[in-house]
A and B are shown apart, each in its own frame.
Chain A
């Protein structure tokens, strides 16, 4: 019953999470994504920096739970894996260098001031530290334009600028993974993820494919211990919408494991991963309303184009797995730019021995192995 309750919540969480990435779009302009009004205070460059830690979380989610034990049986196998992960947010990812309006720092055009704690700083140019989506309270920069035009309802430019605040998040749950596992008799394992959901009435699709290939037996590595496995793994993920979202990620890695007869295994690995792409949002076009923003991009209602990138390129991790019957439980931790905790379970519904008995090759079934060894 509880599991049935959980599934729609998973879908809701996934949709909400992705919706947040897409800046909570609210309206439709053709097939383009339209920026929601609350995000109309941010420029493209600052949005890329503000959301980069969230993109990092998403990228790490894509590439988590891709492998566990590196000893793959010579069997046809079919399973369902449900996994979760969470990322510890380092303090270095709670701030980013926000770009100030071009004229700031030029005292013949404007005098500026900001107050942090008890300290007032004047006429900063270029960039200023502001919170990311995971950070805290932002600091506005007040601007006093030097022009002699009399004040009116419309402030002289460049006017005061305020920045979006963060949510004070130190631990962020990643996107849950519901994936199909397919084992091949070539000691290969494939995992597939797929989800599709409407975003502003246009279908948005996520898919991921991950493959692992055990190879130590091919090169004579640990040939005398069939309970040790070493494998290469690779993965590719895509999140795309016809217009507006194009994000992809790939990963390659090496992992190994040691299994004991009790069903417990220790595994670990190293992985290189990457996330890239863009999100384009159309700003609401209403030239009857004069924006007070000091940024010309916002005043001119230009499209918001965010570069999608991740702080993470390498991860090193280790975990534990326990297999009993059709159920495999797994949990692991990995060090990356956002350290990762992950856990889940796999139900192997179908395991068809290829020729393991005939060739006297140890396989993934401990009962069979015991019989083969005569104990």
Chain B
């Protein structure tokens, strides 16, 4: 009788306390860990310069809703951040009498991001490429990480309706000589956004 009582008490303590603690702790933490995960989504931008003189800017607009992958997952998005972006020149034409495109060099190319928060414009520098020689950037991607303080701006953008923002491609002055006039520059800009989703 004494042994049965002892066994019963041990069984009760184990089954009623230790195991649930073990399960609720370990298992729930694991399930929490696997029920949230990150995906990355590349966003594509094309900056079109037409009939411009460097230095100058061009502006592009995007609404994340135009990306199927974003629309498919937006209800599950718990957080988001910009991660890396790459820039390259896709096609370029120089003005009459100017040096050939390969020898053109810009002092810098900067990419800015801005969005409307209520009535306020919030603007950030996404990244800067210095001494941009067209030869080095012609259909050759150059990757830079998005600074931490700008990366989290994606969080605010995805919470807006619509989740839209603008990018500005800013070309610095020409340091390679020539008029600085360009009838045509198309440049590409891919930015990868990290989204944390919840199953």
In the complex, what residue of chain B is closest to A57 when comparing beta carbons? B30
A304 to B55, CA, bound (A): 49
Within 43-72 of B, Cβ neighbours of A (below 8 Å) are at 44, 46, 48, 66-69, 72
Tell me if A113 and B140 are in contact (CB < 8 A). Answer: yes
Q: How far is the CB of A369 from chain B (nearest CB, A)?
A: 15
Contact between A327 and B11 (Cβ–Cβ < 8 Å)?
yes
Q: How far is the CA of A37 from the CA of B33 in the complex (A)?
A: 20
Quick check: is B139 within 8 A (CB to CB) of the other chain?
yes
> A82 contacts the other chain (Cβ, under 8 Å)?
yes
- Stretch touching chain B among A93-101, A150-158, A271-279, A353-361: A150-158
Confirm or deny: A324 has a beta carbon within 8 angstroms of a beta carbon on chain B. yes
Which of A37, A115, A292, A325 is close to B6, meaning CB atoms less than 8 Å apart? A325
A146 to B66, CA, bound (A): 25
A335 interface residue per 8 A CB criterion:
no
Is A13 touching B10 in the complex (CB atoms < 8 A)?
A: no
A137 CA to B90 CA, complexed, in Å = 29
CB contacts under 8 Å to B, within A134-174, are 137-138, 140, 142-146, 148, 150-153, 155, 159-169, 171-173
Cα of A133 to Cα of B78 in the assembled complex, Å: 18
Is the Cβ of B76 less than 8 Å from the Cβ of A38? yes
Tell whether, in the assembled complex, residue A143 and residue B141 are in contact, meaning their CB atoms are under 8 Å apart: yes
From known contacts A146-B139, A164-B37, A292-B44, infer whether A113 and B86 are also in contact, taking CB-CB under 8 Å: yes
Say whether, besides A3-B15, A291-B68, A165 and B141 are in contact (CB < 8 Å). Answer: no
How many angstroms from the CA of A84 to the CA of B143 in the assembled complex?
46
> Which residue of chain A has the shortest Cβ distance to B197 in the bound complex?
A38
Residue of A nearest to B72 (CB): A37
Q: Let me know if B192 is at the binding interface, CB within 8 A.
A: yes
Q: Which residues of A contact B39 (CB under 8 A)?
A: 38, 41, 162, 164-165
Cα separation A260 to B97 with both chains bound (whole Å): 98
Digitize B163-193: 1 where CB-to-A-CB distance is under 8 Å, 0 elsewhere: 0000000000000000000000010101010
The reply to whether B33 and A169 contact each other, CB–CB distance below 8 Å, is yes
Q: Within 8 Å of chain A (Cβ to Cβ): is B121? A: no
- Interface residues in B64-123 by Cβ distance below 8 A to A read 66-69, 72-73, 76, 83-84, 86, 88, 90-91
How many angstroms from the CA of A352 to the CA of B94 in the assembled complex?
A: 96
Query: Is A350 interfacial (CB 8 A cutoff)?
Result: no
Nearest Cβ distance between residue B118 and chain A, in whole angstroms? 29
Judge whether A13 and B27 touch: CB under 8 Å. yes
Number of chain A residues whose Cβ lies closer than 8 Å to a Cβ of chain B: 69
Q: B34 and A176: CB pair below 8 A? A: no
B199 and A24: CB pair below 8 A? yes
Q: Are the CB atoms of A6 and B34 closer together than 8 Å?
A: no
Q: Is the pair B40, A165 in contact by a Cβ cutoff of 8 Å?
A: yes
Q: Closest residue to A21 on the B side, CB-wise?
A: B34
Q: Which residue of B lies closest to A155 (CB)?
A: B44
In the bound complex, residues from chain B placing their C-beta under 8 Å from that of A40 are: 69, 72
- Given the complex of chains A and B, what is the CA–CA distance between A30 and B66 in angstroms? 29
Give CA–CA (A41, B91) in the complex, Å: 29
Q: Is A200 an interface residue (CB 8 A)?
A: no
A13-B28, A20-B34, A140-B84 given. 6 additional CB < 8 A pairs?
A84-B26, A111-B88, A140-B40, A144-B88, A171-B30, A324-B3
A and B contact pairs by CB, cutoff 8 A, 22 listed: A2-B17, A6-B20, A9-B27, A10-B27, A12-B31, A16-B31, A19-B199, A40-B72, A41-B41, A137-B38, A143-B141, A144-B188, A145-B139, A155-B44, A155-B190, A160-B86, A162-B192, A165-B38, A171-B30, A176-B23, A326-B7, A345-B19
